[in-house]
Structure 1
Amino acid sequence: MSGRGPSRQELIRRRRRSGFVGRSSELASFNEVLRQAPEDAVQFLFHVRGPSGVGKSTLVRQLESAAREAGAVTGYVDDSVTDVVEAMQAVAGQFAQQGAPLKSLGRQLSTYRQRRHEADAGAVVAGEERAGAAPPSPVGVVASRIGLVGAAMVPGVGALAGALDANQVAAGAEQLKGMLSARFRSHDDAQLVLSPVRALTPVFLQDLAEVAQRHSWVVLFFDTYERTGPLLDNWIRDVLVSDRYGELPANVLVVLAGQGRLDAQCWGDWLDLVTDLPLEVFTEDEARQLLAAKGVTDEHVTEVILHLSGRLPLLVSTLAEARPSDAAEVGDPSGTAVERFLKWETQPARRAAALACALPQELDEDVYRAAVDDEEVRELFGWLRSLSFVIDRSGRCHYHDVVRTPMLRLQRRQWPTRWQQQHARLADTFAQWCTRRAGDGTAPDRGWRDERWREHRLQETYHRLCADPRQALGPALRELLDAYGQGTAVLRRWVRTLLRAGQDADAEEVRGWGERLTAALNEPEPGVAAVTLLLSGGKFDREGRALGHRLRGQAHSAADRYEQALVDYDQALLLVPDSPSVLCDRSRALLAVQRGAEALADLDRAIELEPDDDLAFASRGELHRLAGRYPEALADLDRAVELRPDYAWAFASRGETNRLAGRDPEALADFDRAVELEPEYAWAFGSRGQTHAAAHRPAEALADLDRAIELRSDYAWAFGSRGEVHAAAGRYPEALADYGRAIELKPDYVWAFGSRGELHRLAGRYPEALADYGRAIELKPDYAWAFASRGETNRLAGRYPEALADLDRAIELRPDYAWAFGSRGLTNRLLGRYPEALADLDRAVGVSPGSVWHQYERGVVLRALGLPGWDACLTRVVELVEPGADGSGGRRGISDLGNLVLAYAAMPRTAEAGRALGAFLGAAPPPGQAAELQLALTTLVRALPESAPTVEVLLGRLSEVAARPAPGDGAPAPGGG
């Protein structure tokens, strides 16, 4: 026998499709699109809408079957998801089952879940197991536990920026900005946890494009859209019609199915793209066709069913299920809705089981057995799943609301004691399952980190509220805080369950809380609004109120509202004074408002309370590092990795501290260990690359920075650092491209603007340089280096008043800024103000006696004034640049070689000046630097006319290369001066 025949599942699908009645025009419209080429298909977004029970989900399942039959890969999402991330996860799982895995998204989702769990573990009280977590940067804010999806990143330069070297702040700003949480291992992880939609959607679309290349169509179905629409609307719209996250392949179709019309505020500009498929009740012909397909042919029976059902497809199917042969078997038109649904079931045990199984929100075989009393039917879960009003999806099922609602009402009113007993029994069952999942119970928060445990706990809470609303409401409200600790998506699920319990149990107070909390979750900051509502009326104990204030404090911190955060943290500590976790939280907020001493005191107290808290040690170590107290930082980070040898972030942080302390071998060892523990640790690769760059190992530096960018394509800091390596290696176009990309990713990236401005200056593109320096100053008004660089550029452009104004400001900001004094001294010399020039250059040489440029300029001014000492200054230039007789020593950078040319010209010593110029040109200076030497030689003649013959020879050689494009290593790096 050759070939592979159809599977049993496929045969079932074919049989059900062959028996499908009605909705022919909707199916035809959809199938017509599937037969077209994607580029010819005008319709790509379908909206199925209509009242409950009209058959929307049934039609969606038929559309999905039609799509798969046409060779499409399909994904189905319903109200079991509570946010965009869960929607992407559901689609990824179904695609994988169809042999079309979204591999990159799968890896990112796995990383996201792992990082969320690690972040959650970071807030567990002292003594709890902290499996796989990572510690915080004090300038960061723990935000994963409050689920601020899409929250803006927290500024990372921090409160101690003024105490740090400007170059250190500039180079590390992006890193520090990324480390927002004690339990996030890198900037990548923080972005992933804080803004998962922003981080995951581009990956989702890239994978979707790969799947779409291999299949004719990809179809995504979003059912029960009346519930999921408020959560998914903006995302689906952006994916379909904007390029915010990337491009959507043309052969992707989307089907939405819900009760009402699409939200005009969200879709108003795009409604013309929507193919509207409104569903009404069956026509009489369609209803009769379905009845005939079910074997109901008696005209009187048909009339009764049409009357009872109102031609609502679900009720037509339900009443026809038992194939009644006369009207009496259908039931009296005045009978209750429940009687209509169960009239065909004559066995009392089965009727009782069908009613009992309306109580759970969802059913699987275990829940079915727990709900059913009679042993006679306890093994008949398959029978229940076959009922027409039971909706089955992926092994779990639930009753259609049209059927479940009257069943619940009937039982609640007619058998209140049994209602309470059955719900209590189900609650106890779910509680037992929770205990089994949680293990030995030694870690109070362990269960919350387990998705299956959370599902059991949610159902336990629902049934407790239904059994005894008054008694269960208080604990349920307190539980909302724990749910919020796992993220906004989890909180939404708990609030939805609270509201549903209030409706199903007809409990006014529970329903009222559910409605108010649902409204709060629709606020711009749902977490803050929900916690505020709970704190105002939840009647919690001290620990509960403390947790509420802490969670709200974290939310305020994540939104940069540090003063408000401190109010909440202070209140939490009034309630629970000895909480190490709250002290750590408050320390980060204190640091952000420049109260470093108090932040340090909080961390000292946290460590006193919990001497083995690796989180607190790492936080304090980071605080010391930011303040430049490297020995203290290293001591704390040593202790953190001693307490937890697999602490990747602590190794990386210690590596950064060693790098800043000039201990490059130790830094590299730490970064090596960090990436060994965490092979996709982008920040560790970037920092190791920067360490290699400082050690003049450009190949190793580029390899690490390339890897960091490969791991995270929007890593602005890595692009900026790679640009710096390219610039130092003479790859001028590549450097400009990287700086441009860094600025595109991070429009407020001060350091990248300064670096690009420096490249423009060295290229002689002074307007572009002035624009970049100006933007850097606009973003950071106390940026002394940018003022000095702009002053230098203004001088080169002949704008001396502007140059002096900028240099005055740079010196005002940094009174020991040698480079700014030297540049102002040169500007004063060019203006003929030699006494002022000499005063500036004396100051520059005093601060930086090893500066070749300052020695040269001071020698020129002394000789122009006829003062002694000029020859010693120029000789010092030669000593600093030329190698010794034995070939040792000497500095051969392009800038130093240029100053050597000038020093020989000022002596004047023509032959030596020509030789030095050859070395300068041999180093391939960028055009701006060659032009700068030309200008310097020209101004030298004005100060020292006796140098004119030598200068004329040199200018002749320079004119041949002044316009030649070539990269160079340039002047002092941004922030370093």
Structure 2
Amino acid sequence: MIRERAQAQFAGRREQVTQFAENLHTDPESQAQFLFHVRGVGGVGKSTLLRHWQELARAASAVTAVVDEGDVHDVPQALSELARQMAGQTGSFKEFDRAAEQYRRELEAANPVALAGETGAYGGEASTSSRVVAQAALGAASLIPVAGGVVSAVTNPDSAALGLDRLRAGARARHRRADAAEVSRAFVAELQRLCEHYPWVVLCFDTWEQTGRYLGGWLRDLLWEGAFGSVPANVIVVLAGRDELSERDWAPLRSQVADVPLDVFTEAETRDMLARRGVTESTVVETIWHLSMGLPLIVELLALTRPESAGDVTDGGNAVDSAVERFVQWITNPLQRETALACALAPQLNEDVFAAVAPREARHLWAWLCEQPFVTSRGNFKQYHAVVRASMLRQQRARSPQRWNEAHIRLAEIHGSWCAAAERALAPDKRWDDPWWRQSRLGEIYHLLCAEPTVGIAFALEQGVQAAGAVTAVLRQWTDTLQQAANDTAEPVLLVWAQRLQDAVAGEEPAVAALTALLAHGGLDSVTQAWAHTYRGYHLYLADQNEEAITELGRAIATDPGNSRAWAYRGNVHLWLNHFDRAAEDLTTALELAPDDARILGCRGDCHRQAGNYAEAIDDLTAALDIDPALHLARVTRGITHRMAGRDDQAREDLTTVVKIDPTNEWALVNRGVVHQKAGRYEDAVADFTAALEIKPTDALALLNRGKVYQKMGRYKDAVADFTATLGIAPPTP
């Protein structure tokens, strides 16, 4: 069906179709372009052309993948979806999966209530760890042969350590960006591997006017700067969007871009397509040509109605609405017609949503709906073409506002019930991380806004505060849901909020900007205000604005002293600044409010560890593990505490337990390696440090300690290599 429609729709556009196909039979090293930009108005056929090109590419033994605005809210999310699709064609993406999992773990560890920050995870205060790195790495310079001898380290280790401490300012924000870059580098490495075995890899980005907001800079860095490694010549990138590429942003790549503008059909192309559908009566063809304005999608819909006279083609009014209405009327089965209209209310459809939105007696029509020409697949969901759906929504809202409200309220209630069911197995702070719960909550928000915009906005903004406490991709999904509701209802209050929040999440610190807007304009109740200040403080902390974070968390506490998370976050900021007494006070208050919160217990245990109070640390960490035995960070931190207290057997036991459960836990491997190193088990130590470096090649302490072990073993060449690599990694310059 797709191939038939694509061939019919593009019969008159052989130049655009063959341009891409010819590229697939060109030597990659000599191809003129590697980036195709398909552009045109909605309904002109961009997505259809992309699907046709994918078929051509796969026929040429290429590996293909496509993402659109439903898949993309940040770079790692988009890369994960592309990798998933390509892995389905070629097998596992092991290196990418490992980098993506490491990135996920680092994001989790960046939570201020998580344990053991990136320096603290290895034990010791910041200044101590900096001094260790400086002394060991600089001392290693004495091993480097120069003109038949060796040089002595002339740099003062204390001065170097002080410099390292200064350079730690900004480490958290850079660390997050660096980890995202690691995911990109792993993705490029997988592309390099694929291109050795397949003639082409074709990556498609649909609805570029949306996806480009988050991927534009990354894609330019990838293709022009080579920031993440060399992209093979047999990688083709296809963008499809409404607008031309900005000359300011894309000028350096302009010679590599094949611009593919899709204009509306000419009269000859319209006649050709209609003839293929058996529509040849001259007055009918003339009427369709004028009514459709040459939009291929509208020509397709009108042709499918098999009009026998010009009177069978509705004219006048909005051309798109008239064409869609004519097509719906052509569905002669009343139940099918009612089903098609009812399902337009849902932005995304699967069988569960279909069962909720379709008439009860139409449950057997799912397969029929999926075959309709305006329905396409997107991941595990189906969706209407945006132009067709918008027209159906306009008609339903205008004809019966009461039925419109009742239907959306019913759908909101169903999505809310799905949320409630999912919550039974989810901790409150894990809900936004769960895809099914998140999808259900966003559906609930969307349908409430469509039913009662002025009432639903309060709930939507309250939920937006909570979404801002999650990763940026989740926040952007929430803002996109608000934008969708604004577009579908044209309600002024929603349009204002949608624009305000889209502007906020487009900046450098999207969560801080969004929360600032919500606090300034949202009319939030005191409890929600406190959460907004709490999460704003959290993101300021991640942006290395520590004093501002403490101030903001103080506002949260003043607004709602019962918010345990605000106390815990402020305690962790104090811990980062080595204010151990203040950190312990805040964390203790948090535990008085939430005595069974294992992560806060673990965080206070880490505070005691860094302050040198090992007995208190062990007590808290053990209590945390009694509550949540799966809290691996607490077990790693307890292992580190045992090691620092000289209880090496207990340390090895804890760290080995973690490694058995999660062999990719880099921190456990590094610290167990240190335990082996101290006991003189050099081969075991090297094995652990090497395993950690396979997970994260830029782990400075794994490199440093492996170098020290090599030095003990007399493997000086290997030691010099590791020490040299360490000096190049720890820490990055600001």
TM-score, normalised to structure 1, is 0.67
Matched AA of 2:648: D
Aligned to 2:228: 245
Aligned to 2:301: 318
Q: Secondary structure at the match of 1:583?
A: helix
Aligned to 1:357: 343
Aligned to 1:382: 367
| Contact map agreement 1:349 1:374 (CA 8 A) in 2 | no
- Is 1:50 aligned to residue 40 of structure 2? yes
Matched AA of 2:115: P
Match of 1:583 among 564, 567, 574: 567
- Is 1:278 aligned to residue 295 of structure 2? no
Aligned to 1:34: 24
Aligned to 2:77: 86
Q: Matched residues in 2 for 1:574 and 1:22: separation?
A: 68
Aligned to 1:299: 282
Between the two proteins, what is the percent identity of the paired residues? 38
Match of 2:237 among 235, 246, 254: 254
Aligned counterparts, 1:764-783, within 5 A? none
Q: Matched residues in 1 for 2:644 and 2:133: separation?
A: 8
Larger mean Cα displacement after TM superposition, 334-343 or 279-288: 334-343
Aligned to 1:621: 605
Aligned to 2:13: 23
Please tell me whether Structure 1 or Structure 2 has the larger radius of gyration of its CA atoms: 1
Match of 1:687 among 661, 671, 683: 671
Aligned to 2:473: 489
Deviation at 1:53, TM superposition (A): 1.2
- Is 1:102 aligned to residue 119 of structure 2? no
Match of 1:409 among 385, 391, 394: 394
- Is 1:371 aligned to residue 357 of structure 2? yes
Aligned to 2:724: 740
Larger mean Cα displacement after TM superposition, 722-731 or 67-76: 722-731
Match of 1:499 among 460, 483, 491: 483
Q: Matched residues in 1 for 2:203 and 2:106: separation?
A: 28
| Contact map agreement 1:163 1:627 (CA 8 A) in 2 | no
Q: Matched residues in 2 for 1:79 and 1:457: separation?
A: 18
Deviation at 1:238, TM superposition (A): 1.9
- Is 1:653 aligned to residue 644 of structure 2? no
| Contact map agreement 2:120 2:126 (CA 8 A) in 1 | no
Q: Matched residues in 2 for 1:539 and 1:85: separation?
A: 34
Q: Matched residues in 2 for 1:167 and 1:744: separation?
A: 16
Q: Secondary structure at the match of 2:279?
A: coil
Deviation at 1:424, TM superposition (A): 1.4
Match of 1:561 among 545, 554, 559: 545
Matched AA of 2:371: S
Q: Deviations over 1:933-971 (max 9, x none)?
A: xxxxxxxxxxxxxxxxxxxxxxxxxxxxxxxxxxxxxxx
Q: Matched residues in 1 for 2:323 and 2:4: separation?
A: 27
Q: Secondary structure at the match of 2:61?
A: coil
Match of 2:584 among 582, 592, 600: 600
Whose relative contact order is higher, 1 or 2, with alpha carbons under 8 Å and at least 6 apart? 2
Matched AA of 1:731: R
Q: Matched residues in 1 for 2:461 and 2:420: separation?
A: 21
Aligned counterparts, 1:423-434, within 5 A? 423-434=408-419
| Contact map agreement 1:219 1:255 (CA 8 A) in 2 | yes
Q: Matched residues in 2 for 1:726 and 1:154: separation?
A: 23
Larger mean Cα displacement after TM superposition, 698-707 or 276-285: 698-707
Matched AA of 1:519: D
Deviation at 1:89, TM superposition (A): 2.1
- Is 1:720 aligned to residue 690 of structure 2? no
Aligned to 1:212: 195
- Is 1:136 aligned to residue 99 of structure 2? no
Q: Matched residues in 1 for 2:276 and 2:661: separation?
A: 63
Deviation at 1:17, TM superposition (A): 5.3
Q: Deviations over 1:180-199 (max 9, x none)?
A: 9xxxxxx99x9997765323
Q: Matched residues in 2 for 1:25 and 1:65: separation?
A: 17
TM-score, normalised to structure 2, is 0.88
Match of 2:219 among 233, 236, 242: 236
- Is 1:67 aligned to residue 57 of structure 2? yes
Q: Matched residues in 1 for 2:42 and 2:7: separation?
A: 24
Aligned to 1:800: none
Deviation at 1:229, TM superposition (A): 0.5
Q: Deviations over 1:830-863 (max 9, x none)?
A: xxxxxxxxxxxxxxxxxxxxxxxxxxxxxxxxxx
Matched AA of 1:43: Q
Deviation at 1:282, TM superposition (A): 1.3
Q: Matched residues in 2 for 1:414 and 1:165: separation?
A: 70
Match of 1:309 among 271, 288, 292: 292
Q: Matched residues in 1 for 2:713 and 2:15: separation?
A: 67
- Is 1:697 aligned to residue 678 of structure 2? no
**Shift in CA distance, 452/634, structure 1 to aligned 2, threshold 3 Å:** closer
| Contact map agreement 2:336 2:365 (CA 8 A) in 1 | no
Q: Deviations over 1:495-545 (max 9, x none)?
A: 111122123212111111111011111121111000011011222222211
Q: Deviations over 1:267-325 (max 9, x none)?
A: 23222221111111112222111111111111111111111111111111111111212
| Contact map agreement 1:71 1:216 (CA 8 A) in 2 | yes
Question: How well do the aligned residues superpose, as a CA RMSD in angstroms?
Answer: 3.2
Aligned counterparts, 1:626-637, within 5 A? 626-637=610-621
| Contact map agreement 1:305 1:319 (CA 8 A) in 2 | yes
Q: Matched residues in 1 for 2:100 and 2:719: separation?
A: 33
- Is 1:542 aligned to residue 526 of structure 2? yes
Aligned to 1:823: none
**Shift in CA distance, 518/535, structure 1 to aligned 2, threshold 3 Å:** same
**Shift in CA distance, 716/253, structure 1 to aligned 2, threshold 3 Å:** same
Q: Secondary structure at the match of 1:221?
A: strand
Q: Secondary structure at the match of 1:379?
A: helix
**Shift in CA distance, 701/664, structure 1 to aligned 2, threshold 3 Å:** same
Deviation at 1:219, TM superposition (A): 0.6
**Shift in CA distance, 311/19, structure 1 to aligned 2, threshold 3 Å:** closer
| Contact map agreement 2:659 2:669 (CA 8 A) in 1 | yes
Q: Secondary structure at the match of 1:79?
A: coil
Deviation at 1:406, TM superposition (A): 3.0
**Shift in CA distance, 435/598, structure 1 to aligned 2, threshold 3 Å:** closer
Deviation at 1:643, TM superposition (A): 4.1
Q: Matched residues in 2 for 1:33 and 1:165: separation?
A: 53
Q: Secondary structure at the match of 1:470?
A: helix
**Shift in CA distance, 743/359, structure 1 to aligned 2, threshold 3 Å:** same
**Shift in CA distance, 259/701, structure 1 to aligned 2, threshold 3 Å:** same
Q: Matched residues in 2 for 1:117 and 1:163: separation?
A: 25
Larger mean Cα displacement after TM superposition, 466-475 or 236-245: 236-245
Match of 1:421 among 372, 388, 406: 406
**Shift in CA distance, 61/727, structure 1 to aligned 2, threshold 3 Å:** same
Q: Deviations over 1:325-380 (max 9, x none)?
A: 221111234576433223243435444433333222122344334333473x5532
Q: Matched residues in 2 for 1:617 and 1:432: separation?
A: 33
Deviation at 1:206, TM superposition (A): 1.8
Q: Matched residues in 2 for 1:265 and 1:736: separation?
A: 46
Matched AA of 1:216: P
Q: Matched residues in 1 for 2:81 and 2:481: separation?
A: 21
**Shift in CA distance, 192/105, structure 1 to aligned 2, threshold 3 Å:** farther
Matched AA of 1:400: H
Matched AA of 2:308: S
Deviation at 1:476, TM superposition (A): 0.6
Aligned to 2:659: 675
Q: Deviations over 1:763-782 (max 9, x none)?
A: xxxxxxxxxxxxxxxx9xxx
Matched AA of 1:44: F
Matched AA of 1:295: G
**Shift in CA distance, 433/687, structure 1 to aligned 2, threshold 3 Å:** closer
Q: Secondary structure at the match of 1:380?
A: helix
Q: Matched residues in 1 for 2:589 and 2:709: separation?
A: 42
List gaps (5 residues or longer) in structure 1: 1-11, 124-134, 141-152, 181-186, 750-778, 780-977
Aligned to 1:476: 460
Match of 1:571 among 555, 560, 570: 555
Q: Matched residues in 2 for 1:610 and 1:434: separation?
A: 24
**Shift in CA distance, 171/266, structure 1 to aligned 2, threshold 3 Å:** farther
Q: Secondary structure at the match of 1:256?
A: strand
